[in-house]
Structures are given as C-alpha cells and as structure tokens.
Amino acid sequence: MNKDYTTRFQEKDISVGIIGLGYVGLPLAVAFASVECRVIGLDCDNEKVTMLMDKRESYLLHIANETIEQMVINGHFRATTDLSEVKEVDVIILCLPTPLNKYHEPDLSYITDTLQEIAPFLKKGQLLSLESTTYPGTTEELIQPIIEAKGFRVGEDFFLVYSPEREDPGNEHFTTATIPKVIGGVTTTCLEMGKRIYGRIIEKLVPVSTVKAAELTKLLENIYRAVNIGLVNEMKIVADRMGIDIWEVIEAAATKPFGFNAFYPGPGWGGHCIPIDPFYLTWKAKEYGVNTDFIELAGRVNTQMPAWVVEKVTDALNQHHKSVNGSKILILGLAYKKNISDTRESPSVKIMELLRQKGAEIAYSDPYVKSFPVMREHQFDLKSIEMTPDSLSKMDCVVLCTDHDYFDYEMIENYSALMVDTRGVYKKYKHQIIHA
C-alpha cells in the first residue's frame, strides 16, 4: 500500500466530488464546504447547475439561498454537468436515484451508467462512496469489478465504501452533521479511509464489519418504518369499521413507557425510500430462496391506502347526495409529507389520479409545489390554487392529504362544505369532516 494515499486523507485540503445534487447530494455538499473542503457538485440537470452557479439559489427549502451564495463566493463549491471533473477530486460520492422498474425490480441504471461514464477519469488514490439505497452485495458485485477493471487494487490504491444516506428533509431537529452515519468498507483500510473523510462532517460514525451489513442496515431502517406504517394503516381501517377513533387509541397506547413506538396512519406511503426500499430486499432475498411475506404484505396494505381514501371521499359525497363524477375536489398538499416540496411517490398524486378516473374535477393547493411536476406515470396540467374562503366554498369536497403547518386549518374548516381528513388534524369530529 502506498503510504501517500492514506496520509492524503489526513490532510485538510481535500477535494470532494458529489454526483447527484438532490435531497442527499446538496446537503452533503453544503456540509463538506462548511469545513472548507473543495467541493465539485456534478449533476446532469442543467437547471440545477444554473440555479446554483449563476443565480446562486437553492432549490431545496431547507437550504437557504445565502448558504449557496456564500460557499460559491468563497470558492468552496462549484457545480457542473461535466462528469470528467471527477479526475480533479480525491473523494467521489454517488448520490443517485435507485428506483424500481415496472416489474418492481431494482433499477440500478443511474449508478451503472454513471460509473461507466466516469471510469476513464478515475485515478489511483481516490475513495468512492455509494450512498444510494440498494440491495446487499451491490458495492462488491457491481461497483468493485468496474474499478478493478481499471487495474486498481481496492484497499491498496483505490478505496471503496458504502455509507447510506439518512437525510430527513423538513426535520428541524437533525442535520447532516448530527445524524449518526453508518459506514462499511470493502476492506479494513477502505473503512478507515472512509471514516477519515466522513469524520470531517459527521459527529458520530457507526462503522460496521462489511459493506453488505451497511447496505442491509439501510434497508432494515426503512422496512421497519414501512411495516409499522402498514400496521397502523390497517388498524385505522379496522377501527373505522368498528366506529373507534384510531387517533385516540394511538395517543392512549403511546403513554406506555416501554415496548411501543407510535406510528400514525395516513393516505399511503410516499418519498423515494419507504415505498421503494422494501422491494429491494424482497427481490434479493429470492436469490437465496427466501420469501419475504411479511414485508410484501405491508407493501400491499400501504399501496392500497389511496384507494381507501377515494372510497371515503365517494361515501362522503354520497351522503351529501352527490357523485364523484362532476364534483369539484380540492387536494390539500401535493408533497408526500408536511413542510417539504418532495412529491416523489406521493399518495396525494395517486388519489388525484383515482378521482380523475371517476370523473372528478381536480384542483390542488400546496405552498411548496407551485406547479404540478413532471412525472413519468402521472400528468396533470395544474398549478397550486390560493386557498381563500371563496376558493374553498366553491369545492364540493376538500381532501386533506398533507398536513403542512402553513395551512390555515381554522379557515379550511369554516369554509369547506365537506372535508375528508387523512392526517388526523381534525381529531374532534365535526359534521362536515370525514376521517379517512
């Protein structure tokens, strides 16, 4: 092992290339720039690069424009679409999407295509870290061979780690620096190099014995949430049939000081992680002859929740002698959770689609999503409407899907002819509010 490679990561003047400047990559760039690392952000989206470099503006709500402007002005950050720039950095961090294809199988094309594109520019002594959620074995089975095909020896003259992202946009209690970070290395030397890099920005590192253990840790975290969300959503349906207030039940159960963690029902799951990650494990488990029945059942429950909400909307309108067909229905909140702008896999969108199929006239209001975003599976030519007494009173039904703190809930209640609440905001029953 060349001693210069290991000592290089101990020096202050380290350059970091972050590929993918989304909800994971941009906060990482900010964190490394804040400790005076030289950061190159690489993204295929010209619009993002223009916003960051020319306008010096942030496209993420939880990162201020002033933060972007400062790190560009002081020379700690620049963004580009040119992937050949990886030849200029000591560390490469991949923060790329890992969606599912139409067969619910892992689609790692963003990672493989990017690796093939940057392969000619890799050099000895670099460290590459994958942060994207994936199945156990990806780092060693997919990434390591591409590196070794260059003639590099992983653990000796090139270092490879897996360190899953744990970003939680909109969470004011935790930042990139304060969330403990799991990390695994292909070799012990790789792990040590990775710890030196991430230790610059993360307060607490959680090293594990292998990259596979790190990859499975990420899946366990999100599957734990997916299963418990599925459980409480199923409990909500049962409680509804029995005429029991599920919110009261959860609040009562949460007083138990041990053995119970409160999860809350909603209109379905959303975001890039929770609806996707469980199926990465179910797919990989089949290679080992294991069926993940429990995980798949939770997936089915969560996937069916938008249809449950639409059923409640249909029943509510029927009680008011109206049909869904021809009704004006306002969706409150397009993002998949409150106080953010992320609409990926949002149950709100699925509810809108189902209602439109039934002939409803759809509108939405979301202060963080001004126009309906471009999506592969859903197309709506809509802009967020301003919520006023007049706009609310024109609706046959208002469906609260995302409980943004921004919303004026008293005004919504006062001026809505009929409301379906999927988030338990209006826990005390009112005649025009239906809980779903």
Which domain CATH number covers 157?
A: 3.40.50.720
- Residue reference for tokens 């069926």: 291
Confidence of residue 179 (pLDDT cuts 50, 70, 90): very high
Strand-pair category, 181-185 with 205-207 = parallel
Q: Say if residue 315 is in the same domain as residue 396.
A: yes
Q: Say if residue 72 is in the same domain as residue 200.
A: yes
Q: Say if residue 129 is in the same domain as residue 263.
A: no
Name the active-site residue from 95, 273, 397, 401. 273
Is residue 429 included in any domain, yes or no?
Answer: yes
pLDDT at 101: 87
Region 252-265: mean pLDDT is 96
Region 308-329: mean pLDDT is 96
Distance separating alpha carbons of residues 206 and 181, to the nearest angstrom: 6
* Number of C-beta neighbours around residue 406 at 10 A: 13
* Number of C-beta neighbours around residue 245 at 10 A: 16
Q: Say if residue 87 is in the same domain as residue 172.
A: yes
Is residue 294 included in any domain, yes or no?
Answer: no
pLDDT at 274: 86
pLDDT at 3: 54
pLDDT at 1: 44
Q: Is 37 designated active site?
A: no
Strand-pair category, 419-421 with 91-94 = unpaired
Last residue in a domain, options 153, 182, 209: 209
Interval 345-354: pLDDT, tens: 999 999 999 9
Region 119-133: mean pLDDT is 97
Is residue 63 included in any domain, yes or no?
Answer: yes
- The b/e string for 312-324 (b: 16+ C-beta within 10 A; e otherwise) is bbbebbeeeebeb
CA distance to 141, 212, 352, per residue, from 359 (Å)? 48, 48, 11
Q: Say if residue 239 is in the same domain as residue 132.
A: no
Interval 145-162: pLDDT, tens: 999 999 999 999 999 999
DSSP three-state, residue 433: strand
Residue 255 has pLDDT above 60, yes or no: yes
Region 89-100: mean pLDDT is 95
Distance separating alpha carbons of residues 145 and 101, to the nearest angstrom: 24
Is residue 215 included in any domain, yes or no?
Answer: no
Q: Say if residue 178 is in the same domain as residue 248.
A: no
Q: Say if residue 175 is in the same domain as residue 239.
A: no
**How buried is 40 (Cβ within 10 angstroms: 0-12 exposed, 13-18 middle, 19+ buried)?**
buried
pLDDT at 378: 85
Q: Say if residue 182 is in the same domain as residue 55.
A: yes
In sequence order, what are the residues at sequence separation of 6 or more whose Cβ sits closer than 8 angstroms to the Cβ of residue 337?
A: 170, 270, 271, 402
Is residue 396 included in any domain, yes or no?
Answer: yes
Q: Say if residue 26 is in the same domain as residue 88.
A: yes
pLDDT at 61: 87
- If one compares 277 and 194, the residue with the highest pLDDT of the two is 194
CA distance to 116, 229, 325, 339, per residue, from 171 (Å)? 35, 18, 38, 9
Q: What are phi and psi of 361, to 5 degrees?
A: -95, 110
- If one compares 377 and 23, the residue with the highest pLDDT of the two is 23
Confidence of residue 428 (pLDDT cuts 50, 70, 90): low
Interval 378-426: pLDDT, tens: 889 999 999 999 999 999 999 999 999 999 999 999 999 999 999 999 9
Is residue 292 included in any domain, yes or no?
Answer: no
DSSP three-state, residue 359: coil
Distance separating alpha carbons of residues 106 and 109, to the nearest angstrom: 9
Last residue in a domain, options 150, 182, 209: 209
Confidence of residue 252 (pLDDT cuts 50, 70, 90): very high
Interval 51-78: pLDDT, tens: 999 999 999 988 999 999 999 999 999 9
- If one compares 75 and 169, the residue with the highest pLDDT of the two is 75
Q: Say if residue 78 is in the same domain as residue 190.
A: yes
In sequence order, what are the residues at sequence separation of 6 or more whose Cβ sits closer than 8 angstroms to the Cβ of residue 66?
A: none
**DSSP letters of 309-352?**
HHHHHHHHHHHTT--STT-EEEEE--SSSTTS---TT-HHHHHH
Q: Say if residue 259 is in the same domain as residue 362.
A: no
Region 297-310: mean pLDDT is 94
Which of 304-308, 373-377, 425-429 has the least mean pLDDT? 425-429
Is residue 139 included in any domain, yes or no?
Answer: yes
Domain with 246, as residue range(s), is: 222-283
Q: Say if residue 167 is in the same domain as residue 130.
A: yes
Is residue 293 included in any domain, yes or no?
Answer: no
pLDDT at 430: 52
Angle between helices 277-287 and 211-242 (to 10 degrees): 120
Total domains, the chain: 3
Q: What is the largest CA-CA distance in the chain?
A: 79
Region 13-41: mean pLDDT is 96
